[in-house]
Amino acid sequence: NRKYHPDDSLVDLGGGALVGGKRLAVIAGPCSVESEAQIVGVAKAVQAAGAAALRGGAFKPRTSPYAFQGMGNDGIRLLQEARAVTGLPIVTEIMSTDNVEMFEMCVDVIQVGARNMQNFDLLKQLGKTTKPILLKRGLSSTIEEWLMSAEYIMAGGNERVILCERGIRTFETFTRNTLDLSAVLAVKQLSHLPVVVDPSHACGKAWMVEKMSLAAVAAGADGLIIEVHNDPPHALCDGAQSITPDQFAGLMEQLRALAPCV
Ligand code: PEP
Ligand code: MN
Q: Give the rounded percent of residues in the chain with a pLDDT score beyond 90.
A: 97
What average pLDDT does range 62-82 have in this prediction? 98
pLDDT at 15 over 90: no
Q: Per the confidence metrics, is the pTM higher than 0.90? A: yes
Is 2 domain-assigned?
A: no
Instruction: State the pLDDT confidence band at 3, using cuts at 50, 70 and 90.
Output: confident
Identify which has the larger pLDDT, 260 or 15.
260
What average pLDDT does range 49-67 have in this prediction? 98
pLDDT at 234 over 90: yes
ipTM greater than 0.85, yes or no? yes
Is 6 domain-assigned?
A: no
Buried-exposed string 45-76: b where 16+ CB fall within 10 A, e elsewhere: bbbebbbbbbbbbbbbeeeeeeeebbbeeebb
User: Mean pLDDT over all residues of the chain?
Assistant: 97
What's residue 255's pLDDT? 98
Residue nearest to atom 9 of ligand 1 (CA): 114
**Alpha-helix runs per DSSP H in 87-233:** 100-106, 120-126, 143-155, 182-190, 199-203, 206-218
Is 193 domain-assigned?
A: yes
pLDDT at 57 over 90: yes
Is 143 domain-assigned?
A: yes
pLDDT at 235 over 90: yes
- Do residues 112 and 123 touch, judged by C-beta distance below 8 A? yes
Q: How far is the CA of 31 from the centre of ligand 2 (A)?
A: 4
What's residue 159's pLDDT? 96
Residue nearest to atom 3 of ligand 1 (CA): 31
What's residue 4's pLDDT? 87
What's residue 112's pLDDT? 98
pLDDT at 2 over 90: no
Instruction: State the pLDDT confidence band at 130, using cuts at 50, 70 and 90.
Output: very high
Number of domains composing the chain: 1
Is 3 domain-assigned?
A: no
Is 4 domain-assigned?
A: no
Sign of CA dihedral 120, 203, 236, 251: negative
Rounded to an integer, what is the distance from CA 95 to the centroid of its chain?
14
Q: What is the extent of the structural domain holding 250?
A: 11-258
Ligand 1, atom nearest to 113 Cα: 8
CA distance 162 to 111: 9
Is 1 domain-assigned?
A: no
Residue nearest to atom 6 of ligand 1 (CA): 113
Q: What residues does ligand 1 touch, defined as CB less than 6 Å away? A: 31, 57, 61, 113-115, 136, 166, 198, 201
Is 5 domain-assigned?
A: no
Q: How far is the CA of 116 from the centre of ligand 1 (A)?
A: 10
Ligand 1, atom nearest to 164 Cα: 9
**DSSP three-state, residue 26:** strand
What's residue 138's pLDDT? 98
pLDDT in tens, 90-114: 999 999 999 999 999 999 999 999 9
pLDDT at 80 over 90: yes
What's residue 173's pLDDT? 97
pLDDT at 1 over 90: no
CATH of the domain at 134: 3.20.20.70
Q: Give the rounded percent of residues in the chain with a pLDDT score beyond 70.
A: 100
Residue 42, phi then psi, degrees to nearest 5: -65, -40
HEC string of 167-207 equals CECCCCCCCCCECCCHHHHHHHHHCCCCEEECHHHHHCCHH
CA-nearest of 117, 126, 167, 183 to 145 is 117
